[in-house]
Amino acid sequence: MPGIVDVEHLTDLDKWTMEAVQKRIEVKLTRRKVSEGCNEIMAWIVSLEEEDTMLKGVAEDKNPFKEIKGGCVIC
């Protein structure tokens, strides 16, 4: 079947076939508990904590938005 289908113009048999195909795909998926997934994501976030500039901040020499010292005044 094509990627985008106008369901309104399909027969009932075509709709049921599409639904059956989708159900066959979903049955093969492995499922996990949400708590297991959350624990895995939290562990991943904590493992990257050292590299996170939002927590650690940006070093002065690598900050592209730091204020330029000195400068020029135009009168």
Note the pLDDT of residue 24. 96
- pLDDT class of 71 with cuts at 50, 70, 90: low
Q: Where are the alpha helices (DSSP H) in the chain?
A: 12-27, 34-47, 53-56
For residue 31, tell me if it sits in a domain: yes
Domain that holds residue 43: 7-47
For residue 53, tell me if it sits in a domain: no
Query: How many structural domains compose the chain?
Result: 1
Q: Return the structure tokens found at 42.
A: 């939290």
Note the pLDDT of residue 57. 82
Per-residue model confidence as pLDDT tens digits over 7-38? 888 899 999 999 999 999 999 999 999 999 99
Q: How far apart are CA 71 and CA 51, in angstroms?
A: 33
2 pLDDT more than 80: no
Burial class of residue 21 (count of CB atoms within 10 Å of its CB; 0-12, 13-18, 19+): exposed
For residue 74, tell me if it sits in a domain: no
Indicate the pTM of the whole model.
0.46
